[in-house]
Every structure is written in C-alpha cells, then in structure tokens.
C-alpha cells in the first residue's frame, strides 16, 4: 500500500483510466461469451476467444448450439454450408485492432459481418469503464466521498488502505453489474455465471478483507434500547446503527446456525428447478428431481454449498473477530437480497398471472447484498423503480410507445450504484428506519400482503378499463403490439 500511495495522485488516476479501458475490453468479451444466444461469429477471434473458452466464460447453451451448427454445416458439405462456415469466421486482425477504444475504430469496415455500427457500443463500454474507474477512485479516495460528516474527526487514524479496499470491492461490483446489465438489455436474462460467481467473490472479499465494507459513522448510540452508549466501529454490519450483539460472535452456536442458514437458503434459491403441479405432486416431484439431476448448475451449487459450509465452520472456529463479522454480514446480505426480490417475484406472479420479474433479478440483488450488506437491499429495491420510470418516460417521449416488458436488472444496478456513490448522503437519511432492530424485518414481512393488495387492485382497474372501453375494428391486442415493439427494438 505504501508503494501505491508513493505514486503521485494524478498519475494514479491516469493509470486507472488506461487500465480501466483494458478491463472494459475484458468485460466486452464476457458479454459476448456469456450471452445465451450464440453469436455466429465473434469480434474477439483468435487468442482472445480461445482464452475465454478455456477459462469457462461461455454459456452452456452457446456451446451446444454452436456445436450443433458446426455439425450441421459439416454434414451438408455443400456450397451453402461452406458459405455458412465462412460467415462464422471473423476477418483477419492486426494487433492494432485489439488496442482498447482505438482498436474499434479500425474494425468499422467489418459492419457487413457484424451489423451496422456494431463497434460503437463496445467502444463506449471500454471508454466509460476507464472513465468510471478513474472517477470512482477520485470520488472515494481523493474526495472522501463515502465518508460522512464528522467521520474524519471521530476516526482520525482511519487507514487509507481500508479506503482502497472499499474502492476495490466497489470496482469489482460495478464490473459485474455492467456485464449483467448489458446482457439483460440484449436478451432479457442475467447469466448465473455472473451472479453466482459474483456472490462467491463478495463472500470471500468480506471474509478475507472485512474492512472493504461500507463506512458508517454513528456517534454515541446505545448498544440496544436501554443499553450504555458506545462508539461503534466504522463499518456497516448486521446491527448497525446498534452495536454488534454478543450472541453472533464467533464460537456462539446461534452465529454458526445463522451463517449456515443464509448460505443454504441462497443455494436452494439458485438451484435449477421447475414445479409441474397440475398433474399431481408425484409427477411434479419426479420432474423436479429429473431437472435438478440433469443440470450442471445443480452440482456447482452443491459444491459451493459444501465448500462454503467448511469455510464458514473454519472461520467460526478459528478466524473470529472482524473477519467473522465481515463474513456473517455478507451472508446475511446475500440471503436478504435473495429473499426480498424472490418474494416480490412470487407475489407479483401469483396476482398478475404472469412472470413479473426474472429470477436473474433475484440472484443479482443477492450478489449486491453480499457486497454491500443487507441494509442496502431494500434501499436498492425502492430506488431501482425510479430509474425504470425515467427510462419508460424517455421511451414514451422518443419512440412514442412503451415496451410490453423491460429488463429490470439494469435499473437495480443503477440503484446499487447510486447507493454506493451517494452513501454518505443516503445513510444519514435512512439510518432512523434501522434504529429499532425488528422494524425492518417486520416491514419486509408486512410489505408483501400490501403488495398483493396493490397489484390486485391494479388488475381489477385494468379489467374495468377493458370492459368500459369501446372496442374498435382497427384495434390490436395490446400485448401483441407490445411484444412486437419489443422485438423490433431488439433487432440489430
């Protein structure tokens, strides 16, 4: 850390921008390789594409479909097959084509293979990734943007190394959310390879470097109502704005039980499963077991669960202290993020009679909770719709229509980004709502019946509107029009 601090600040920002553009190139590659729908040819051919395949950054569906396409071409062996095979081969490249940002300008002549202005978005992604990482460093390190008023006075010896760990954690989370958002915008899904991997990274980072948690300053509050006033550590934990309860310390049975419950709840949530209850529970159970045994994800999740159980037990027994606190906070954030969005998805799906949110949104907010803590999950959930509303209004103004379905993942990511950047302003506002330990859990439990009543009322109003509105011969079904608009907007 002393070596990094010895580098002039301006030079650090410039180097971060340059490294950020190269990191943006890797994120572009992941967007292409993790997409569910395989690209016939890839702008990243040769060594880059081979490395991505070797380290496993490709969706199973893409590999299977590409293999089937190759087999079909080889089986035909005719001229048309040869033309198909040629179209899937990217043009030869020069080394200058792989320079971040600038290299895309040299690929503009490949629009016949990849589509009109295909180079514009990946070039902007690399440019904005570099600029975003540099600006985030300036905000968190140069301006102390995460630290609340009075923080430096209360903790004058707060290490710069901890600020850099927080920056590293947020940079990793921003990168994961960017890849997830771009794929969600393209295909209305979020790959498990991003959210599950990101959740594991968040847990590891919280356990190994617990100082990477969000900073807080809570002056002179009681440990619990009626307790003595204490000075809390400057990190967001489970009980903030109250002191850490002794029952959750390492070595306490309830602490281990809570940690394992959070881990296995998340594992159960992300397991691939389907329930076909219309033909009886026996048939549904057979389909459920067959689906889980067939999917590779089942074995990956079980391996994560068993390895995580061993790691949690080791940390509970031997690590203790701030490392155990960081790991437990991350586990609770993981479970809370999963629970909030999962329950909203179930309630909205039952009331509206269709899928209101994808399950990728559930695993996405779980990942965000693992990085930022459980308190941020309800904040992100309530901030995200405002970004969605702004996007819907912009769509209505510019295109004069509304899509039948919009990807919600990018708006959740924007909400999480706003929480990080404006943390020093947001936390003092919402801190009072976390003052009583059981207030937020009670609200989370009571929110879902209210949501069900609200959505049911909306469904009744929509039904009454359809009955009252006179039908016209030239009217088209709203759902069909919306779906058509969605498809047209996604056509390259």
Does the pLDDT at position 175 exceed 90?
yes
Q: Are residues 433 and 368 in the same domain?
A: yes
Does the pLDDT at position 76 exceed 70?
no
How many other CB atoms sit within 10 Å of the CB of residue 491?
6
Among 18-27, 279-288, 297-306, 327-336, name the one with the lowest average pLDDT.
279-288
224 vs 242 pLDDT, higher one: 242
Residue 170 located in a structural domain? no
What pLDDT is attached to residue 339?
A: 86
Q: Are residues 101 and 203 in the same domain?
A: no
What pLDDT is attached to residue 484?
A: 35
Among 70-79, 105-114, 236-245, 481-490, name the one with the lowest average pLDDT.
481-490
Residue 126 located in a structural domain? yes
The last residue of a domain, from among 137, 162, 179: 137
pLDDT tens-digit profile of 406-430?
788 999 999 999 999 999 999 999 9
Tokens of 25: 């190139």
Residue 180 located in a structural domain? no
Residue 212 located in a structural domain? yes
Q: Are residues 82 and 193 in the same domain?
A: no
Q: Are residues 330 and 255 in the same domain?
A: yes
The last residue of a domain, from among 119, 137, 155: 137
Residue 165 located in a structural domain? no
Domain count, the chain: 2
Does the pLDDT at position 465 exceed 70?
no
Q: Are residues 383 and 476 in the same domain?
A: yes
Q: Tokens 């202290």 belong to which residue?
A: 321
Range of the structural domain that residue 95 is part of: 2-137
Q: What percent of the chain stands above pLDDT 90?
A: 42
Among 196-210, 238-252, 326-340, name the one with the lowest average pLDDT.
238-252
Secondary structure (H, E, C), the chain: CHHHHHCCHHHHHHHHHHHHHHHHHHHHHHHHHCCCCCCCCCCCCCHHHHHHHHCCCCCHHHHHHHHHHHHHHHHHCCHHHHHHHHHCCCCCCCHHHHCCCHHHHHCHHHHHHHCCCCCHHHHHHHHHHHHHHHHHHHHHHHCCCCCCCCHHHHCCCCCHHHHHHHHHHHHHHHHHHHHHHHHHHHHCCCCHHHHHHHHHHHHHHHHHCHHHCCECCCCCEECCCCCCEECCCCECCCCCCCCCCHHHCCCCHHHHHHHHHHHHHHHHHHCCCCCCHHHCHHHHHHHHHHHHHHCHHHHHHHHHHHHHHHHHHHHHHHHCHHHHHHHHHHHHHHHHHHHHHHHHHHHHHHHHCCCCCCHHHHHHHHHHHHHHCCCHHHHHHHHHHHHHHHHHHHHHHHHCCCCCCCCCHHHHHHHHHHHHHCHHHHHHHHHHHHCCCCHHHHHHHHHHHHHHHHHHHHHHHHHHHHHHCCCCCCCCCHHHHHHHHHHHHCCC
Question: What is the pTM (predicted TM-score) of this model?
Answer: 0.83
Q: How confident is the model at residue 193 (pLDDT cuts 50, 70, 90)?
A: very high
The last residue of a domain, from among 104, 137, 170: 137
Residue 178 located in a structural domain? no
Q: What percent of the chain stands above pLDDT 70?
A: 72
Q: Are residues 128 and 212 in the same domain?
A: no
Q: How confident is the model at residue 432 (pLDDT cuts 50, 70, 90)?
A: confident
Give the best-scoring range by mean pLDDT among 133-142, 280-289, 426-435: 133-142
Q: Are residues 199 and 115 in the same domain?
A: no
What pLDDT is attached to residue 488?
A: 29
Q: Are residues 248 and 372 in the same domain?
A: yes
């Amino acid at each position: 850390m002393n070596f990094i601090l010895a580098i002039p600040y301006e030079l650090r920002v410039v180097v971060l921008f340059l490294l950020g553009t190269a990191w943006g190139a890797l994120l572009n590659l992941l967007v292409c390789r993790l997409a569910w729908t395989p690209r016939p040819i890839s702008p990243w051919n040769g060594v880059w594409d081979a490395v991505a395949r070797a380290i496993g950054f490709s969706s199973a569906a893409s590999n299977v479909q590409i293999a089937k396409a190759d087999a079909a071409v080889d089986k035909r062996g005719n001229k048309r097959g040869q033309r198909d095979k040629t179209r899937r081969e990217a043009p030869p490249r020069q080394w200058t084509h792989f320079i971040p940002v600038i290299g895309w300008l040299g690929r503009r002549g490949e629009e016949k293979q990849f589509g009109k202005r295909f180079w514009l978005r990946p070039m902007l992604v690399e440019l904005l990734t570099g600029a975003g990482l540099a600006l985030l460093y300036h905000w968190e390190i140069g301006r102390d943007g995460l630290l609340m008023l009075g923080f430096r006075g209360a903790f004058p010896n707060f290490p710069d190394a901890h600020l850099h760990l927080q920056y590293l954690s947020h940079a990793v989370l921003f990168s994961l959310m960017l890849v997830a958002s771009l794929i969600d915008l393209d295909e209305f899904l979020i790959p498990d390879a991003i959210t599950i991997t990101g959740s594991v990274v968040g847990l590891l980072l919280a356990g190994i470097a617990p100082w990477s948690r969000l900073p807080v300053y809570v002056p002179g509050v009681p440990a619990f109502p009626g307790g003595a006033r204490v000075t809390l550590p400057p990190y967001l934990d489970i009980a903030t704005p109250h002191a850490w309860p002794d029952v959750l310390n390492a070595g306490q049975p309830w602490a281990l039980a809570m940690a394992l419950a959070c881990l296995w709840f998340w594992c159960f949530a992300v397991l691939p499963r389907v329930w076909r209850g219309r033909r009886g529970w026996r048939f549904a159970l057979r389909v459920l077991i067959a689906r889980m045994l067939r999917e590779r994800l089942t074995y990956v999740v079980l391996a994560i669960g068993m390895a995580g159980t061993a790691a949690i037990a080791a940390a509970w027994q031997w690590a203790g202290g701030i490392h155990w606190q960081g790991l437990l906070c991350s586990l609770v954030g993981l479970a809370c993020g999963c629970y909030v969005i999962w329950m909203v998805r179930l309630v909205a799906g039952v009331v509206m009679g269709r899928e209101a949110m994808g399950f990728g949104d559930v695993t996405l907010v779980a990942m965000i909770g693992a990085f930022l803590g459980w308190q941020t999950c309800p904040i992100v959930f309530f901030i995200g719709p405002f970004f969605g509303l702004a996007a819907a209004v912009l769509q209505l103004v510019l295109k004069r229509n509304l899509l039948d379905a919009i990807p919600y993942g990018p708006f959740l990511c924007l909400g999480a980004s706003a929480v990080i950047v404006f943390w020093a302003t947001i936390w003092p506002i919402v801190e009072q709502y976390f003052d009583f330990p059981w207030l937020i859990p009670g609200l989370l439990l009571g929110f879902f019946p209210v949501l069900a009543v609200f959505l049911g009322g909306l469904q009744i109003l929509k039904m009454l509107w359809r009955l009252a509105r006179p039908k016209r011969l030239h009217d088209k079904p709203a759902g069909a029009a919306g779906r058509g608009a969605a498809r047209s907007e996604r056509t390259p």
